[in-house]
Structure 1
Amino acid sequence: MKRLVLFLCCALIGFASLTACNKPQVESASPGPADQQIVDSYTYLYGRYLVLQQENLDIKVEKVGYNKIKYNPLGSAAFVNPNLDVAYLEAWLAVDPTHAVILNVPKITGRYYTAELLNGWGEVITNINERNYPKTPYGKFALVMKGTNPDIPAGAVRVEVPCTKTKMLARVELKGTPLIAKKLQEQFTLTVPEDIKIDPPITVPKFTNAKPIGGEIFDNVEEVVASCEDAMPKASEMQALARQVEAYRKSSEQAKTHVDEVVNTKAIPAFLAGAKGFGTQKGGWSVSYKAGKFGDDMMARDIINYGGLWANEIKEAIYFVGLTDSDKGLLNGDNAYQIRFPADALPSSEVNAFWSMTLYSVPDYRVVDNPMKRYNLSSQSPLKKNADGSLSIWVGSSMPKGALASNWLPSPAGKGFALTLRMYVSKDDVLDGKWFPPEIKHVP
């Protein structure tokens, strides 16, 4: 009897083992990247997507074309984050391995100018001006794709660019003589080979500043990161992580849901919170001393590309962004504010070129229309000082009590806004953080 029981037990065990062997095996899912890795990958890619979004808008919607200079009308406010104290010109410059594009820069003396070149991540490549090119501040500048050796004209200055596409944004100071500035603006020209090969912009999903791109940011990682070399020191590390997140997201519907949820509940809220105040903050102002050359600061690059795409490096122009008052309340057109510069710390004494303060709507960073058509105040404005030599700038939807009409910057009633103080070719105490704009004071 015992032998029979033992035989049956062995038979059952053998059958169970055989069944287990023949049963389809369910592989255990890999754990995938941690939530913080998903957030970091999103933060890294978002800066590039903001540039791609602008390229698509310029090329596909505005039809500006590549290798064609757009000479913006003087005082034009029809684009994001304008500075109304300069004559602007801009272009998407496209090169290929066997062709260079020549930027012809006119001779300019006695007024600020620069031709800023930026890569596809919103980082400054160089500024063409007398400060960076003292021996050749004007003439022919040949844009050449890094690692290539196309023919360039004799005497042209070789400028290597890391991508096939480069954004050029040039400025010529109006300096009270706008007609001369306009004439100089139009003397910036391009010499372009006829048979240059230009790829269309990478298509990106639609998104806005109010509603940033979601998990679909990981749909096309390889093409996006391969389209332009990134100067960020940890770029290769972050690109590898982004590829990992993309592979995980595409592995199953469950993984896609997880990544999209992390993006929507963690990555985007973290970015939007950071955009409300970033870098060094004081008295309602925020400033990044890394603008234009961001190092490994992914969030700073995102925020700058989000609110002020094509920002220059700080030695050329530093941007103080006012988003709150000194009590940390968001700026609102229903309130009145005073910004009072002490007599011994006037903005004009802290720059070698000029300064300006411009008011923008949020979150789109467009100038706010008003009956006076006054969008900014600057070195060239007929500002009046206070009796003690200090300078007050007043902000409100109607002229604040006690304000000087010449010093009043109109704001939108019932709506939020932001201020941008630009300091061009600042002195060392500005660049070192020793000088900071005075508080944005909420006044009755």
Structure 2
Amino acid sequence: MNRRDLLLAAGAAGLAPRLANAQPAPGLRAAAREAWLYGLPLIEMAGTRARAFAGLNPGVNRFGHARRLAGPESRAVTAPNNDTLYSSAWLDLTQGPVTLTIPPTGDRYISVAAMNMFTDNDAVLGTRTTGRNGGRFTLVGPGQAGGGPDVVRIATPHAWLLARTLVDGEADLPAVHKVQAGLTLEGPTGQALSAAWPKVPGRQAPALDYFDGVAAMLKADPPPATDGAFFARVAPLGLTAAGQFDRSRFSGAQVAEIEAGVAEAKAALRSAGPIGAGAGRLVDGWTYPPNTLGFYNQAYAFRAAVALGGLAALPPAEAMYMHPEGDTGRMFTGAGPYRLHFPAGKLPPVDGFWSLTMYEGTPDGQFFLVENPARRYAIGDRTPGLTRNADGSLDIWIARDDPGGARTANWLPAPKTGPFTMSLRAYLPRQELIDGRWRAPKVQAVAR
């Protein structure tokens, strides 16, 4: 691998996005590699939206609510949490603004992330930012008039609202359902809006079909002017900010070059891990997210890694996502037990909540909850029945099989077979976690 290829591959995993994005694209292969990564968030957002509307969905500009916590059957979005109920709405602002109402939630955590189609969080409303008393907010698309303190501007004509409402165990679900009932949208609706949305192929489509899809998405949701340098770099591919792409101009040999560039992008991306873990800082066995998580600017490779491994990730001020170093890169392959030991008084410092969630990895780089006999998918600050050591410290035991004895109470089950990984989530992290003064202890293998 030459120096240029090495930098681009590292950028695809998010390890050196600035270097990768600064490189010129002298050939078709390099242009295809970078353009495939650039377009992946658009493709993943379109696919997630299409799956939502293929099921039981209330329609455009309306919320649909999950009534139970995510489990192994929850495969619509990669790396779901098992702490909150999701409420989801797909917005179409082409016919005018939409009004969002968030009910009062008191001490209960809630966030409503307003993501543009490039997966940036244009706003996160809720406990941290707008307070406990809820409110009404006017969501305004590009070029639309709007003023006042409660206007939220969205960078693309279409968007995704994803609300997270904290659940404190099964008995708490009815109370959360009442909160969801107060989470509403007012604005244009109807099948005519969704009928106009582009129908695009998935990330496994042949390269030319994929770029046709990216072009269609760019027409519907134009990119920011600050992406101009990217489009100049991928000029050999002919993909433009206006959504132009002429597949008929390529010979068979050129198509092969494009496919080779796409294959390189996919291979590099698979190493990134959940929620773009490969892009962060590895410190004492844990990867911590960069400050661009959730609003990516020109970190296109990192944005692509997050779209694949943790679509809809929140920015660090709202939530920190940390990932342990496994047996082989990001993944664990052993049977365990592994131990995560929190010394007394050294639990994750949060003003919200924290949890450690187990995921199985798929061959294409996504992450999902896995069935287990304990029906436990995460351990956190609300998990009932956890036992502390005599000195007040807490051990979490990670293993494919029940570790037995006193360890069973604190067992986080791993998949029976195959690679797995974990995500340590900390919502409303305190400053010592954000700035690195608090670090998670290493996950260590322990003899039975």
**TM-score category of the 2 structures, normalised to the smaller one:** 0.7 to 0.9
Higher relative CO (CA 8 A, sep ≥ 6), structure 1 or 2?
2
Query: Which deviations, in whole Å up to 9, do the C-alpha atoms of 1:75-130 show, x marking residues without a partner?
Result: 2322432222222211112212x422111111111121111111101110101124
Local SS of the residue matching 1:142? strand
- Provide Cα deviations, 1:200-232, integer angstroms capped at 9, x if missing partner: 33222234xxx587454323544322332446x
So what's the TM-score if we normalise by structure 1?
A: 0.82
In structure 2, the partner of 1:85 is 83
How far did 1:195 drift?
7.3
Of 140-149 and 247-256, deviating more is: 247-256
User: Structure 1's 109 and 224: CA in aligned 2 closer, same or farther, altered over 3 A?
Assistant: same
User: Any conservation in 2 of the 1:142–1:158 contact (CA below 8 Å)?
Assistant: yes
Instruction: Specify which of 221, 228, 231 is matched with residue 236 of structure 1.
Output: 228
* Bigger shift: residues 195-204 or 170-179: 195-204
What is the alpha-carbon distance in structure 2 between the residues aligned to residue 283 and residue 336 of structure 1?
Answer: 20
Contact 2:31 2:261 in 1 (8 A): no
Q: Give the distance between the partners of 2:295 and 2:179, measured in 1 at CA.
A: 28
Is the 1:95–1:196 contact (alpha carbons within 8 Å) kept by the matching residues of 2?
A: no
**Match status 1:161 vs 2:189:** no
Work out whether 1:398 is the aligned partner of 2:401: yes
Q: Is the aligned partner of 1:139 residue 2:138?
A: no
Deviation at 1:431, TM superposition (A): 1.0
- Of 59, 67, 71, the residue aligned with 2:61 is 67
Q: Decide whether the 8 Å contact of 1:221 with 1:242 is kept in 2.
A: no
| 2:268 corresponds to | 270
- Residue 113 (structure 2) aligns with: 116
Residue 297, structure 1, aligned to residue 299, structure 2: yes
Unaligned runs of 5+ in 1: 1-30
Q: Distance in 1 between matches of 2:334 and 2:90?
A: 36
2:182 maps to amino acid: Q
Tell me how far apart the structure 1 counterparts of residues 401 and 424 of structure 2 sit (CA, whole Å): 21
- Within a 5 Å distance, the mapping from 1:348-387 to structure 2 comes to 350-363=349-362, 364-382=366-384, 383-387=386-390
1:198 paired with 2:198, answer no
Amino acid at match of 2:259: D
Q: Which residue is equivalent to 1:19?
A: none
Higher gyration radius (CA): 1
Map 1:93-104 → 2, pairs under 5 A? 93-96=91-94, 98-104=95-101
Moved more, 369-378 or 220-229: 220-229
Q: Are the equivalent residues in 1 in contact too, given 2:41–2:117 (CA < 8 A)?
A: no
Q: TM-score scaled by structure 2?
A: 0.81
Q: 1:191 to 1:248 in 2, by over 3 A?
A: closer
- The AA in structure 2 aligned to 1:356 is S
Shift of 1:161: 1.1
Distance 1:296 1:35, change over 3 A: same
Q: Residues of 1 paired with 2:118 and 2:444: CA distance? A: 35
The alignment covers a number of residue pairs equal to 401
Q: Percent identity?
A: 26
- Measure, in 2, the Cα distance between the counterparts of 1:356 and 1:212: 36
TM-superposition CA deviations, 1:332-358 (whole Å, max 9, x none): 3633211111224212xx101110111
For the residue of structure 2 that corresponds to 1:433, the secondary structure is: coil
**2:310 aligned partner:** 308
- The answer to whether the Cα contact below 8 Å between 1:162 and 1:229 also exists between their aligned partners in 2 is no
Deviation by residue 1:357-409 (Cα, 9 ceiling, x = unmatched):
11112124221111221111111113222223221111112122665222111
> Matches of 2:425 and 2:288 in 1, distance apart?
11
Structure 1 letter corresponding to 2:265: A
Larger deviation, residues 375-384 vs 59-68: 59-68
